[in-house]
Amino acid sequence: MSIILWNQHDIKAALPGVTASLPFAATGVSIDTRTLKPGDLFIAIKGETMDGHDFLAKAHENGACAAIISQDVPSLPADFPVINVSDTLKAMEELGKYARNRCPGTFIGLTGSVGKTTCKTMLAYMLSAFGETYATEGNLNNHIGVPLTLMRTPQTSQFVIIEMGMNHAEEIRHISKMAQPHIAMITTVEAVHIEYFKNVEAIAKAKAEIFEGMVNKGVAVLPFDSPYYLIMEVSADQWGASKRITFGTSANATIRMVHYQQEAQGGHVDAVIEGQPFSYKIGMFGEHMAINSLANLGIIHALSLDVQKAANLLQGFSALPGRGKLYPLQINNINFSLCDDSYNASPASMRAAITQLSHAKGRKIAVLGDMLELGNHALALHTGLAHDITKQRIDMVCTSGHFMRHLHGTLPHHLQGPCAEDPDTLYPQLIACLKAGDTVLVKGSHGSHVHKIVTRLLEEAKPVS
């Protein structure tokens, strides 16, 4: 039986002076008719290119039980409950705050330049073993996604994980104040979205805005190895953190990785937490994934839960599609492995993926698409990957896009694979290069569209058990 999340009484309590036209009981909340489920409360958000009011008839047809609107829609049936407000986004924010305050669970806020969604999903996987857990769906981590997540949070949740993303300064501050996390974590600070910032220090300060919404005497979880650690530490202390838990490889970190060994099915991690050694296996590849797991175990520790129990669960956690998932495939009678890391890319995540690829068996082929939102730093950050590629002994690099063409030109001739302006042109050239036993990494910013190569491979190649 579905839990009732919202009814007309909740609306009246959360939005003074606003009432629903008719009683209703919503079991979900939606802003998109393509994913709306029967029983959802539909919120007609006005975006830059679309207006949710244009889809109200479709929302009703798909089973919405009520709608929040900011303009009259005469075509709606008279028996369809509506909540009329002056601004649907502001109403959603107020409803999100109301939902946050009525839930007695522990709220965990999570941000960072890379690794947010993987960390969030991994943390939810572990926390579910300790109590009812709700987490941000997908990457709904902005000024719309966070209040939507809060509105969808069941009141019975013991643990609530809110992912927070940003492109500009002051965005994290706004959504963190809505979420009011008891525990706030920053995964990493890197040159991501640097097109919109003066330097990486400014990005660190923007990420540290998460502490401005943290509840009084909250806990900050920080990457100790980061060159920008002090910026984050100062901000956490300034906004009332009662405790700092740090993670990394440094001997001074609260929870530190002592040794990482890549294995056939993932990795083996030896770690220490406040002087106590422990070990565990993780069902994902790469030292960067092991560091992500340490960050999450820092949160487990902050919650006074059993760290070893949580760590033991990670052997059953595998990488997400687009974020390092491995597929054994066969095409043209050639068996090879595809590492799908095509969801997004930054200089730091590129280097981590290249390092991970270096541990693969057989030929190591990197298929790289442009990294976006790097501004004036773009050319240098793309060509700068050549050092990592040669150091890690990658066998071939195939590139797609304007900036990756410059990287291609800086590589030694023996590493230069096909180079194209777009993924569609590159795809057949890549297929022609494949040999049995190859491991193919596909990585690039979402806007580079290298995910199209992954889509075609998964459609045209056969899975190998």
Give 238-249 pLDDT, tens digit per residue: 999 999 999 999
Q: List, by residue range, all CATH 3.40.1190.10 domains of the chain.
A: 103-316
Q: Are 163 and 117 in contact (CB under 8 A)?
A: yes
Q: Are 165 and 198 in contact (CB under 8 A)?
A: no
In this predicted structure, the answer to whether residue 74 has a pLDDT above a threshold of 90 is no
Q: State pLDDT tens for residues 293-311.
A: 999 999 999 999 999 999 9
Q: Which residue has the tokens 């920053």?
A: 186
Query: Looking at the domain that runs over 6-86, which CATH code has it been given?
Result: 3.40.1390.10
Q: Dihedral sign, CA of 265, 277, 112, 92?
A: positive
Q: Are 303 and 183 in contact (CB under 8 A)?
A: yes
Q: State pLDDT tens for residues 323-355.
A: 999 999 999 999 999 999 999 999 999 999 999
pLDDT at 73: 87
Distance, CA of 128 to CA of 386 (rounded, Å): 41
Q: List, by residue range, all CATH 3.40.1390.10 domains of the chain.
A: 6-86
In this predicted structure, the answer to whether residue 320 has a pLDDT above a threshold of 90 is no
Mean pLDDT of 409-430: 97
Q: Is 159 left (phi over 0), alpha (psi -120 to 50) or beta?
A: beta
Instruction: Give every CB contact of residue 94 below 8 A, 6+ residues apart in sequence.
Output: 14, 15
Question: What is the distance in angstroms between the CA of the first residue and the CA of the last residue of the chain?
Answer: 37
CA triple 75-76-82, angle to 5 deg:
140
CA triple 416-419-422, angle to 5 deg:
155
| Residues forming beta bridges with residue 29, ordered by sequence position | 41
Q: List, by residue range, all CATH 3.90.190.20 domains of the chain.
A: 325-463
Q: Which residue has the tokens 């802003």?
A: 31
Distance, CA of 232 to CA of 430 (rounded, Å): 43
pLDDT at 438: 97
Mean pLDDT of 393-408: 97
Hey, what's the torsion of the CAs at 134, 270, 222, 201, to 10 degrees? -120
Q: Are 214 and 184 in contact (CB under 8 A)?
A: yes
pTM (two decimals): 0.89
Distance, CA of 184 to CA of 13 (rounded, Å): 28
Q: State pLDDT tens for residues 374-400.
A: 999 999 999 999 999 999 989 999 999
What is the 3-class SS of the chain, one letter each residue?
CCCCCEEHHHHHHHCCCCCECCCCEECEEECCCCCCCCCEEEECCECCCCEHHHHHHHHHHCCCCEEEECCCCCCCCCCCCEEECCCHHHHHHHHHHHHHHHCCCEEEEEECCCCHHHHHHHHHHHHCCCCCEEECCCCCCCCCHHHHHHHHCCCCCCEEEEECCCCCCCHHHHHHHHHCCCEEEECCCCCCCHHHCCCHHHHHHHHHHHHHCCCCCCEEEEECCCCCHHHHHHHHHHCCCCEEEEEECCCCCCEEEEEEEEECCEEEEEEEECCEEEEEEECCCCHHHHHHHHHHHHHHHHCCCCHHHHHHHHHHCCCCCCCCEEEEEEECCEEEEEEEECCCCCHHHHHHHHHHHCCCCCCEEEEEECCCCCHHHHHHHHHCHHHHHHHCCCCEEEEECHHHHHHHHHCCHHHEEEEECCHHHHHHHHHHHCCCCCEEEEECCHHHCCHHHHHHHHHHCEECC
pLDDT at 1: 60
CATH superfamily of 325-463: Mur ligase, C-terminal domain (3.90.190.20)
Instruction: Give every CB contact of residue 179 below 8 A, 6+ residues apart in sequence.
Output: 100, 107, 109, 146, 150, 162, 164, 213
In this predicted structure, the answer to whether residue 193 has a pLDDT above a threshold of 90 is no
- Host H or E run for residue 88: helix 88-102
Q: Average pLDDT over the chain, rounded to whole?
A: 96
Q: Are 268 and 258 in contact (CB under 8 A)?
A: no
Kindly state the percentage of the chain with pLDDT values over 70.
Answer: 100
Q: Which residue has the tokens 């045209």?
A: 460
In this predicted structure, the answer to whether residue 104 has a pLDDT above a threshold of 90 is yes
Mean pLDDT of 111-119: 92
Q: Which residue has the tokens 């009259």?
A: 72
Distance, CA of 252 to CA of 63 (rounded, Å): 55
CATH of 103-316, one of 3.40.190.10, 3.90.78.10, 3.30.70.1450, 3.40.1190.10: 3.40.1190.10
Q: State pLDDT tens for residues 256-292.
A: 999 999 888 889 999 999 999 999 999 998 899 999 9
